[in-house]
Structure 1
Amino acid sequence: MTGSVKDRITNGNLNGVNITAEGTSQGTSTDVDGSFNLDISGLSQDQMIKFQHIGYDELLLPLDSLLNGPKIITLQPRVLQFETVETSGVKRKPAIEKDLPQTVTILQAEEFELRAFVDAGDLLATDQSIQVEESLSGRKTISIRGGNADDVLVLYNGFRLNRPYDNVFDLSLVDMQNVEQVEIVKGGHSVLYGPDAFSGVVNIVPKNTKDKNVRVSQQFGSYASGFWNANAQAQLGNTFLSLSQKQGSYKRVFEDLDVEDTGLLTKLTHRSMDMSNRLKGNKVNGNLEFNVTQDDQLFHNKRDFNKIKSQNQLFGIRYDGVLGLLGEIEIAVANHKLEETQGLNSYTGFVSRKLDHNANKFEVRKYINMNRLEWMFGTQMEKSLLKFWDDRNLTNVHQVGLKGANLNRDQFGFATVLKLHSKGDDEGKWLTDLDVSFRQDQVKDYKDNLVYRGNHEPGVDGRTFLDFGENNWNNKIVKISTIASKRSLNKTMAYWVTTGNNVKFPSLQQQISLTDLPPGGRTANLLPEKMKSLEIGINVVSQPADIPTIDQLELQGSFFRNDFINKMRITYLLGMPIGYYENIGHADMMGFEAKMKAKTYGGALVGEIGFSKYKVSDQSAFPFKSTFKLTVNMTAKWKWITFGTRWFQEGEQVGMINVPSKGFNEIELPAFSNYDIYWTVDVNVGPIKGDISYSGRNLKKNDTSLNGLMLRDTRKYFTFSTEL
């Protein structure tokens, strides 16, 4: 079979495109004129033919369509080198490709399985831009590029998981058993997912094709931890179904306390159902996906007599593909529920809280692709209700503030992204893009059923409570980016500059905290945080032809600067486990990040070095964030064994605690370095596949603690898995 391959945008001939028949040794490549001659003897009509070039998206086509269709194949150029994962011949690309160019990292599920981590938080900590924060309650949140936990949006298949109460999500809830990949978007340049993503986005993508029948695993390790996972999959025609459950617990003992009954107990049960149906019709051609998750958690701090019990539920439906006269479109509907009870103790007394949240979400996006012009526009709508109750039994404390209320939030957003591609140079190697995005959001908050505490004084506090919870915000986001990319035989390069603004609206928790302040120190309301940002980045991927042992080299680097207006800062009242928030005016942050990755010996040996360095103007606005991080990762595979190690170093962390009559006091956690070791051994008997894994984290002893909780302690885990 003969034919030719061209650039879809420039129509230039492509040299060096690898063309292979999947699962066979038959293959060829295009010459300088883009022409190819492929031997197809012995191949069936449904044999998949793969077209690969380092600077272009992979293309899979059945042989019969090539024989009966046009002999000119066109490939879509990659603006940036986004990693993708391939399963059973189905290619899933990161959704962020539809947004502005920005720094993206893809962590595939295999990395989690090989390292035997407890949860997604431990996996994300391997990235040089991410810091994991573990609270006394056992919750794990992340910061990206030195930002705060509520600056990061966490999504499940594009559905927002952040709690509207405090705008954070606990990553220990995520079950990685049925996860295909984790997409990490760094920086505040995304407009697809709505406002609030000041420092980044994490999108957890479930699998949509079958790779096993049943998999069961059991993990044992430090802190008497024991987690078991079970995942069952079925493929019926074009329908894929996956059911998963994760359950377990672990215990921790506080520093200088040897009695187990005075430690921390964490219990978790996770259930999920993911179903994907590939629709192949004349007018309807796309993927229809259903995602259902439920998480039950119990945190019991026996030392401080604190207990938190919660249930988190998500139900979502998403369609992505061609829909009749509407063409290529994406539609999503979701419901998000959270129920939580908190029993919080301090030396002044006891606080009992109950949260009952329900949110309905709708999103639609339309895509138009005319080769040199790509256009996306869409809307997002969300209607949520938070029923809040906060009962306090405190001694010698003036009981003012809000005891209970129904808080409502209606949010509507419109977003559009326009990508203009140049014709390229005469040789079809250089391509320059101009990308522009615009987003407008309207947020309306309103309240009812207010219940006040016993010392509430209507004449003094009334005005504040009239203003509290009554907001009507309108904000516009505009971003512009230009990118120049070059494709040659064994190398692709991209340079980009992106600038624009962003906004983050005060969460319901932040607004409620105002009612805890004495009348004289209380502000009527909080203002949305605003950010102006600039990022300059470079991405280079090469396949050195003169070094046969090196499969691929990748270099990624970026410089960024963020300027904040009305930046939010949290302060804890003396003796109270509850904080309040305030706008501090102006703050800024700038930083540099770089990563180099090498794949060698057919992927058998992979090495990676990452580095990040940040500078912030006001440490109290970014408490306990490392301004420096260096990571070195290495993974080696040989037959039935995988071995890996990670060495890392983090700079000092400084937090500011506000003490009445004294102002801010500085608390410092020293800089440190440590290393991890992990290995996995495959044990296969007939149709049964299994593996035994070991993961040792922070193997160098470190006694650093905060409030009695060991932060950098050694942890070791063994995992036994089997699948059919």
Structure 2
Amino acid sequence: MRLLQTIFILLFFAVDLRAQDTATIRGTVKEFDTREGISNVQVYIKKSKIGTTTNIDGSFELEIKSYNPNMTIVFQHIAYDTVEYTIAKLNSPADIYLNARVIPLGEFEVSDKRVYSEIGKDLPQSISVIGSEIFERLSFDDVGELLRNEQSIQVADELNGQKTIAIRGGNSDETIVLYNGIKLNSIYNNIADISLIDLQDIEKIEVIRGSNTVIYGSEAFSGVINIVPKFNEDYHVRFRQKIGSYDSGQWTLNLNGSIGNLSGFISTRQGASVKLFSTQDESNFQIRNSVEHFTGNYVYRMNDNNDNSLYGTMLSTTKDYENERDKEILSNEEKIYSSRFDAYLPAIREIEFKVSRRIFEQSHSVNSDFGSLTRTISENSLNISVDKPFEIALVEQRFVYQLESTKLDFSDIRENNFIVSTGISRKIINRTRHGIVSITKFHQESRSDKVRVTDFAISFRHEFLKDVQDETIPGNEFSKGNDEYNGDYMQETSYKFSYNIAGSTDNTNYNSYLNYGTNFKFPSLSQRISSIYLKTSTDETVNFNSEKISSREIGFEIFGSMPDNNSIDNWEFKSNIFNNIYDNKIRVTFPVGVPVPIYDNVGRVKISGLETSLGATLYQKKLKLNAGISKYFFSEKSAFPFKYDLKQSVGITFNQSGYSSYITLFREGEQVGWIKNSDEQLVEVNLPSFSNIDIHLSKILIWNKYSMNYNLSALNLISDDLIIQGLALRDRRYYLSVGIEY
């Protein structure tokens, strides 16, 4: 109790002890090609710790204590070239233009009245930022299709249309997916379906690899996908129609506008597709998918200085799936309501409040030769977060308090030749989690440009979890399920340490980090209440205590420009090595033909890996090349089913006179998984390694205030004959879309 009181006192009454600034530089940072504002650009005085970041529209306000016209201001962003200007050469307000590329995100103290980038809050780690300028005008179907070309990401396409993400060889329940800071992972199984997110609503996607995050939650053993929605655009109306393989059709309408300090964005989408089974005797059976999606976002800036801003989001998605052959019907409905208040209050300076509600409903029925299943899952979650940074001299401190309160209403009725019921037909559980986060960064004074950043950081996260059972209705009397589970109280703590060195020479920037940390993952409610046993099984006990992980990682990034070379503009090289050790690893397998998990323990397992990438931009930013390779080593592959141990990728992007092309080549290694048969034996299933090519072409025509956008996408051009359960998984697909905006 004293710890909580101390933290709340620091959260609400910590005062920044820095002196007040005396001079102000204002302006807007824009993308060179599109002339759109760029958010989260680091703007700082060279050879100092005085800096700020740009707002959502690219605007900035930099306050300087000791004004000198010969001071140099640096503009730096992780996805753009760095530029420098002396104050004497800048008009106020100034327009600054940046060319797209990838550069490191440095660690700078923020001296203005705005919280800096979400990524900068956490410890230094391996990250990628994919801006909407990369995917907005291309014909990607969803987030999964975009991310599957990333070297460390594996996207699993399920037959029912759901798509899940795994990072660095881990399982899908070890990756946290956030939408505007709201956790999308189901409390039932800790897995997120990314097909529910519309790409047209997204400003950028942040991919955080590894287990070294503390802000985003404890379950992120493998990494985090943070999806940042749009709040403001430079057009008023956009309409897009898409057609393609599987008799698919989809239309999207986007509206955008501003009234004074209030800006809003609305998007609605509808789509459907029909797919046939590939085997001749099943070719008349169809799989039908349909989706309806709506998003509304707004931002209200309470004054011209953007000191206090209120952000709001409403998201609603309904997705239906029907499999005629297996008589399977799945319906998912997800709704999210959220508000975020970025405040600058006289007594406590910066502070951020977040509150959100997530409602998820799923109904699932199967009636196949293997048996029948009728299941409903209802989740209702309330999340509250308070984030308070403050600084004393060269020490940057951040405290975060997070509350998650969720109600799960779960029902499950089964009939099967060898799988019995969970032991319950209905269970209602309330889960409450309190998380306390502390991040402390110790900055050292910069003594030269070659070593500009030398930081040490330490963080910890402590969580309390309480499960309370409201109701249980018993199921089959012959069940061996975990019907005795009657709630639990658990608490865990994780610690992380990081050392970061960054600097530059005449034409290069570098960034390096060394991380060590621990993490934990509470058992999901699926593990708690769905312990499924075969009829021939012995009464073994599964240890459903928290899974734990310790991780070590070394990363190095170097970025260079070649001003005297007529062909190569700039280049980059990234490499990192990591080692993850799991304790009390819980393995999941599935019986043949039944979407029901079976859990057991495999004890201690390890994943080690090496990730390396190389990129370059050429011919005045018209051509971009990148290549990457990831190699993973598993001590026990059955704990990480259907995960490749090798992935290679190559990307080529070309932009010229309104024409754009994006070509990706990738190769994934063999994937091995296991299923359980009626004799309770693990049967190995192998998916062979494969290579493929995706091509996206785009053309933009501009007339007055109108623009037309044409897209053609060809996926899986190196098609193979892999068929699983009667469906081709890697067949060729073609899509055409046409859009108009005003």
Normalised TM-score (structure 1): 0.87
Q: Which amino acid aligns with 1:165?
A: Y
Of 281, 284, 291, the residue aligned with 1:268 is 291
1:598-609 maps to which residues of 2 (within 5 A)? 598-609=616-627
Q: Which amino acid aligns with 2:539?
A: G
1:615 shift after superposition? 0.6
2:673 and 2:100 map into 1 onto residues whose CA distance is: 48
2:387 and 2:654 map into 1 onto residues whose CA distance is: 42
Q: Which amino acid aligns with 1:481?
A: S
1:98 and 1:569 map into 2 onto residues whose CA distance is: 33
Match of 2:527?
510
1:660 shift after superposition? 4.7
Match of 1:472?
489
1:316 shift after superposition? 0.5
Of 406, 429, 437, the residue aligned with 2:451 is 429
Deviation string, structure 1 residues 128-160 (Cα, Å, up to 9, x no partner): 001110011111111111111111111111111
1:643–1:2 distance in 2 versus 1, CA, 3 Å = same
1:426 shift after superposition? 5.0
1:227–1:455 distance in 2 versus 1, CA, 3 Å = same
1:55-134 maps to which residues of 2 (within 5 A)? 78-79=106-107, 94-134=117-157
1:179-218 maps to which residues of 2 (within 5 A)? 179-218=202-241
1:563 and 1:28 map into 2 onto residues whose CA distance is: 42
Match of 2:475?
453
Deviation string, structure 1 residues 248-283 (Cα, Å, up to 9, x no partner): 11111222147665121111011010001122279x
2:342 and 2:24 map into 1 onto residues whose CA distance is: 34
Q: Secondary structure at the match of 2:374?
A: strand
1:251 and 1:604 map into 2 onto residues whose CA distance is: 38
2:160 and 2:237 map into 1 onto residues whose CA distance is: 33
1:174 and 1:641 map into 2 onto residues whose CA distance is: 27
1:5 shift after superposition? 4.5
1:37–1:218 distance in 2 versus 1, CA, 3 Å = same
Q: Is 1:557 equivalent to 2:578 in the alignment?
A: no
Match of 1:483?
500
Q: Is 1:159 equivalent to 2:165 in the alignment?
A: no
Greater shift, 538-547 or 388-397, is seen at: 388-397
1:92 and 1:305 map into 2 onto residues whose CA distance is: 51
Match of 1:7?
47
Q: Which amino acid aligns with 1:104?
A: I
Match of 1:69?
none
Q: Secondary structure at the match of 1:514?
A: coil
Match of 1:240?
263
1:23-34 maps to which residues of 2 (within 5 A)? none
1:395 and 1:652 map into 2 onto residues whose CA distance is: 32
Q: Is 1:570 equivalent to 2:588 in the alignment?
A: yes
Q: Secondary structure at the match of 1:111?
A: helix
Deviation string, structure 1 residues 623-644 (Cα, Å, up to 9, x no partner): 1111111111011111021122
Q: Is 1:535 equivalent to 2:563 in the alignment?
A: no
2:283 and 2:560 map into 1 onto residues whose CA distance is: 54
1:93 and 1:698 map into 2 onto residues whose CA distance is: 40
Match of 2:356?
334
Match of 2:249?
226
Report the number of matched residues.
676
Match of 1:596?
614
Contact 1:10–1:424, Cα closer than 8 Å, also in 2: no
Match of 2:684?
666
Match of 1:311?
333
1:618–1:421 distance in 2 versus 1, CA, 3 Å = same
Structure 2 gaps of 5+ residues are 1-22, 26-43, 52-65, 76-81, 109-113
Q: Secondary structure at the match of 2:500?
A: strand
Structure 1 gaps of 5+ residues are 21-26, 58-76, 81-90
Deviation string, structure 1 residues 349-391 (Cα, Å, up to 9, x no partner): 3211111111111011101134622111111111111111112
Deviation string, structure 1 residues 54-85 (Cα, Å, up to 9, x no partner): 9999xxxxxxxxxxxxxxxxxxx8149xxxxx
1:693 and 1:161 map into 2 onto residues whose CA distance is: 30
Match of 2:429?
407
Match of 1:381?
403
Match of 2:463?
441
Normalised TM-score (structure 2): 0.85
1:290 shift after superposition? 0.3
2:228 and 2:100 map into 1 onto residues whose CA distance is: 25
1:267–1:10 distance in 2 versus 1, CA, 3 Å = closer
Q: Which amino acid aligns with 2:632?
A: Y
Q: Which amino acid aligns with 1:340?
A: Q
1:512–1:684 distance in 2 versus 1, CA, 3 Å = same
1:198 shift after superposition? 0.7
Match of 1:38?
89
1:28 shift after superposition? 10
Deviation string, structure 1 residues 225-265 (Cα, Å, up to 9, x no partner): 11111100011122110110111111112221476651211
Superposed CA RMSD: 3.1
Q: Which amino acid aligns with 1:301?
A: N
Contact 1:571–1:658, Cα closer than 8 Å, also in 2: yes
Q: Secondary structure at the match of 1:97?
A: helix
Q: Secondary structure at the match of 2:145?
A: helix
2:98 and 2:738 map into 1 onto residues whose CA distance is: 38
Q: Is 1:494 equivalent to 2:522 in the alignment?
A: no
1:324 shift after superposition? 3.5
1:394 and 1:258 map into 2 onto residues whose CA distance is: 25
Contact 2:439–2:457, Cα closer than 8 Å, also in 1: yes
Q: Is 1:526 equivalent to 2:548 in the alignment?
A: no
1:427–1:494 distance in 2 versus 1, CA, 3 Å = closer
Of 352, 356, 371, the residue aligned with 2:374 is 352
Match of 2:736?
718
Q: Which amino acid aligns with 1:419?
A: K
Deviation string, structure 1 residues 161-206 (Cα, Å, up to 9, x no partner): 1111111111111111121100000011100011101101011111
1:222 and 1:107 map into 2 onto residues whose CA distance is: 26
Match of 1:70?
none
Q: Which amino acid aligns with 2:364?
A: Q
Contact 1:477–1:501, Cα closer than 8 Å, also in 2: yes
Of 624, 632, 639, the residue aligned with 2:657 is 639
1:353 and 1:47 map into 2 onto residues whose CA distance is: 59
Q: Secondary structure at the match of 1:325?
A: coil
Q: Which amino acid aligns with 1:310?
A: N
1:528 and 1:301 map into 2 onto residues whose CA distance is: 36
Of 646, 671, 691, the residue aligned with 1:628 is 646
1:398 shift after superposition? 5.3
1:664–1:486 distance in 2 versus 1, CA, 3 Å = same
Deviation string, structure 1 residues 430-474 (Cα, Å, up to 9, x no partner): 4311010111011111212111113258xx87xx533x1522111
Contact 2:419–2:534, Cα closer than 8 Å, also in 1: no
Q: Is 1:146 equivalent to 2:169 in the alignment?
A: yes
Q: Is 1:366 equivalent to 2:388 in the alignment?
A: yes
Greater shift, 346-355 or 625-634, is seen at: 346-355
Of 314, 321, 333, the residue aligned with 1:299 is 321
Q: Secondary structure at the match of 1:122?
A: helix
Give the percent of matched residue pairs that are identical in Structure 1 and Structure 2: 31
Greater shift, 508-517 or 405-414, is seen at: 508-517
Q: Which amino acid aligns with 2:455?
A: D
